[in-house]
Amino acid sequence: METGVVTLINTKQYPFNNSAQTVALRSEQSDTDYFVLTEVIRAEGETGEIRVYDKAVNGFRIAFDGSARCAEIRYLVIKGGL
């Protein structure tokens, strides 16, 4: 398991959003069969849905699709196949 916090910043007006950020994992996974659980710690506005996508063995992309100006997201990476 690996955990961390990422700050996502959105400078666009809703419905547009440029909050996507790449998260580099500290330890490389053997494959992309892992889960990423997320929790909003703090936000300036509505975050909407938190999306995790483009998973790779060394990281993933994360974004929110709401109108918030910024958000702190805690993530937890759990190896798949449990």
pLDDT of residue 76: 98
Report yes or no on whether pTM surpasses 0.85.
Answer: yes
The pLDDT score that the predictor gives to residue 81 is 64
User: What pLDDT sits at residue 82?
Assistant: 53
Q: Of the candidates 6, 15, 2, which has an alpha carbon nearest to the alpha carbon of residue 57?
A: 2
DSSP assignment letter at 58: T
CB distance 14 to 43 below 8 Å:
no
CA 36 – CA 75 distance, rounded (Å): 6
| Run means of pLDDT, 10 residues per run, the chain, 82 residues | 97 94 95 96 97 98 97 94 58
Please report the domains of the chain, with CATH numbers, ordered by start residue.
2-79 (2.60.40.2080)
Query: Contact, 6 vs 73, CB < 8 A?
Result: yes
The pLDDT value recorded for residue 80 is 74
Distance of alpha carbon 67 from alpha carbon 44, whole angstroms: 9
